[in-house]
Amino acid sequence: MKKITVHDSMQKNYSYLLTEPTGKHFASNFKPDFTPQQMLALGVFGGIYMRDCTKEFPKDWFARAKFAKGNARDKNINYFKVNASQSLAEWKKKGWIYKDDPRGWFQWYCRYYMGRRIPDEDSRQIKRWNAIRRHIGQIRNNCGVGDTHCRPRQRQALLHWAYDSRKI
């Protein structure tokens, strides 16, 4: 087991244990298409997400990460060149934020991928991940296969949840 201690703009002295090998032993109902590193390289969250967390995660995750230059989200950083995110304030208002992961689902996924396990929270987040699949059906029902210009907001939202809609 390895202990990680976090010091960033949203968490000070938060620690967690990595109890599983990186990228291994996921719940059987959780099979993301992308690793966090791949998501960051493709372009997610307008390039403003987790820029101050680079010390917590492997350096190679950030080698090709697409980050915005300033403090504002840049939709052109996103793979589908659209804004598909709600604000962190909106996430908090809807009760989607877990206390140990103040940045939301993607932060949880990064830590889960690294090997942290919190059974109740893992179950909740995996249920949320599975619920996002509804967008896959909407794309299949309304778009031609491989037409990545059709429903770009839904496609970007799916990418934010580690689904690859380019295959649809």
Q: Is the pLDDT of residue 141 over 90?
A: yes
Q: Is residue 9 part of a domain?
A: no
Q: Is residue 7 part of a domain?
A: no
Greatest Cα pair distance in the chain: 49
Q: Is residue 26 part of a domain?
A: no
Q: Which tens digits make up the pLDDT trace of 63-89?
A: 999 999 988 899 999 999 999 988 778
Q: Is residue 54 part of a domain?
A: yes
Distance CA 157, CA 163 (A): 9
Q: Which tens digits make up the pLDDT trace of 113-131?
A: 999 999 999 999 999 999 9
Structural domains of the chain, count: 1
Q: Taking the alpha carbons of 117, 120, 121, 123 in that order, is the dihedral positive or negative?
A: positive
Q: Which tens digits make up the pLDDT trace of 24-63?
A: 999 999 999 999 999 999 999 999 988 999 999 999 999 9
Q: Is residue 4 part of a domain?
A: no
Does this model's pTM top 0.85? My answer is: yes
Torsion, Cα of 40, 45, 51, 54 (10° steps): -40
pLDDT at site 79: 97
Q: Pull the structure tokens for residue 142.
A: 């309304």
Q: Is residue 84 part of a domain?
A: yes
The average pLDDT across 144-154 equals: 95
- Using alpha carbons, list the distances in angstroms from residue 38 to 7, 9, 121, 144, 150: 24, 24, 23, 25, 22
pLDDT at site 149: 95
CB 87 within 8 A of CB 26: no
